[in-house]
Amino acid sequence: MEHIRPATISDVSRIAEMIITNYRINFYPFFKNDPFYFGELNVLDMAKEYKEGSENLKNCFVYDDGAVKGVIRISGTEIEKLFIEPTFQSQGIGAKLLNFAIENHNADRLWVLEYNKRGIEFYKKHGFSLTGEKMIEDEWVPLLKMELAKEKSRVNKDIDLSKITACGECCDGCKKKADGICKGCIEADGYVPEWEESGRCKVHECTRKQGVQFCGLCEKFPCDDITKIVHWNSDIIKNQTILRDKFKEQQGK
């Protein structure tokens, strides 16, 4: 998707700035916790949470049209964070990042601050609904769970399953592919930059040995290996099951 790319170590300061700024503008008015919002919560400490090689950084994507104006963090199919620099809000950037998460990572759930009425309405506008579940984070922050309606989910659209990689992703829209750094998992037959040390993506290699396109179509699915290899996606079994069912639906089986 245009202007959206994986975050890099050079983006960490901007990511931290956007998170801190949004926390102070949007959340401080509800809690009035000066020691936390203007002491404990600071850019330097936040940046440390996104150090090179960290899961937080690996799971982040930024909106960059010459300046980094927004960030989204996705873990499995959960949207963990979505923040836009206040100066650039109401310009459709949040919607683009959200749609990117849905279209490219099958994102279908998130937790939102109970007092954040504007955020709740934003997510409702894009197909999410409150589930009725609630939790208290850090003993004082009330969060509400929202999930994407099934008919809005990527895997329930008429997607081209021929573009789904072994681990259930889709390389379309990836900046590395667009910039010619990577051909794409399918096109490169698993020999992609992320797997340079071992030579080839182990998930891709396994599916090709089994004669299937992605894990969900394998006779041995779900196996113990898939969760060990695809350690970055805690919902890999769920995602692959949905893709398998969609494949059968498209095949009329």
For residue range 154-204, list pLDDT tens digits in order: 444 556 778 888 888 777 767 677 777 888 888 888 888 766 666 788 888
Per-residue confidence (pLDDT) for residue 159, from 0 to 100: 65
User: Residue 150: its pLDDT value, please?
Assistant: 64
Residue 43: count other Cβ atoms within 10 Å of its Cβ.
Answer: 17
Helix (H) or strand (E) holding 203: helix 202-210
Per-residue pLDDT at 194: 66
**pLDDT for the residue numbered 83:** 96
Alpha carbon distance 49, 71 (integer Å): 14
The two three-digit tokens of residue 46, written as one number: 């936040």
pLDDT single digits (tens) 119-139:
999 999 888 999 999 999 888
Cis peptide before 193 (omega within 30 of 0): no
DSSP-H helix ranges across 9-125: 12-22, 28-31, 34-35, 43-48, 55-58, 93-105, 117-125
Q: Which residues of the chain have pLDDT under 70?
A: 1, 150-159, 173, 175, 194-198, 232-234, 252-253
Query: What integer pLDDT is reported at residue 62 of this predicted model?
Result: 96
Q: To which residue do tokens 């490219």 refer?
A: 104
- The structure's pTM equals 0.62
Cα–Cα dist 19/6, whole Å: 17
| pLDDT at residue 211 in the model | 92
Where b means 16+ CB within 10 Å and e means fewer, 229-243 reads: bbeebebbbbbbbbb
The whole-angstrom separation of Cα 87 and Cα 67 is: 12
Using alpha carbons only, give the angle 199, 202, 203 rounded to the nearest 5 degrees: 140
**Structure confidence at residue 71 (pLDDT):** 97
